[in-house]
Chain A
Amino acid sequence: MIGDDVVIEIVEVTGTTVRVGITAPRERLIYREELWERVKQENQEAARANFKEPGESPAAS
């Protein structure tokens, strides 16, 4: 249980594949993990990117 209205259960285990069932009210949004992963990765790259501002350049006057 997550909170008091979301239920996650293992539906099936076949070899290395696990099917997970999620039961939640419609208004409770379930974001696919890959969507979340993409946002996470994009944030991490944005935080790392070499953003050169005019003020940071040693050649700037």
Chain B
Amino acid sequence: MQQTVNSSRFGELEVPAEAVIDFPSGLIGVGGRRFALLTREESGAFRWLQETEHEDLALPVTDPFAFFPDYEVQISDAEAERIGISEPGEADVLVIVRAAEALEDFSVNLLAPILVSRQVGHQVINEAPRVDVRVPLLAGLAESAV
């Protein structure tokens, strides 16, 4: 099953149903409900969450572990229950990317990752220590290269 999604950034897209993630609570501060997770060959490490009904709403995301090998997400049992995750590692983790002119100035939000499990997504507040909303994307790699 394919769904047609209009995107002001990417034009008209045919999206497979399994690429659509339901966000019962939307994304913090920007809302939205159903987002297509777009993987675009030319974007390399970056993917996009494109709202399926709001063509103007799209956010770049990435796999945090590719850039921060030691990244951890900690949530309380109550929060895990709320979002329907019972086992650690059961959810896929994405973090939102804040783009800039130069790649060195890109940052990622490690404080509020997105957890996706069985096509349902939630943006949560990470309770792990030393996480911030605006961490330079390349900081983790620089650190592990030392």
Contacts and interface: CB of A to CB of B under 8 A. Distances in A.
Interface of A: 27-29, 31, 35-36, 38-47, 49-56
A27 B97 contact: no
Contacts, number: 75
Interface of B: 9, 27-30, 40, 42-43, 46, 57-60, 76-79, 96-101, 109, 111-112, 123, 125, 133-134
A54 B40 CA distance: 11
**What is the predominant secondary structure among interface residues of chain A facing chain B?**
helix
B36 to A, nearest CB: 15
Given A49-B98, A53-B42, A39 B59 contact: no
A24 B125 CA distance: 18
Given A29-B76, A53-B43, A44 B133 contact: no
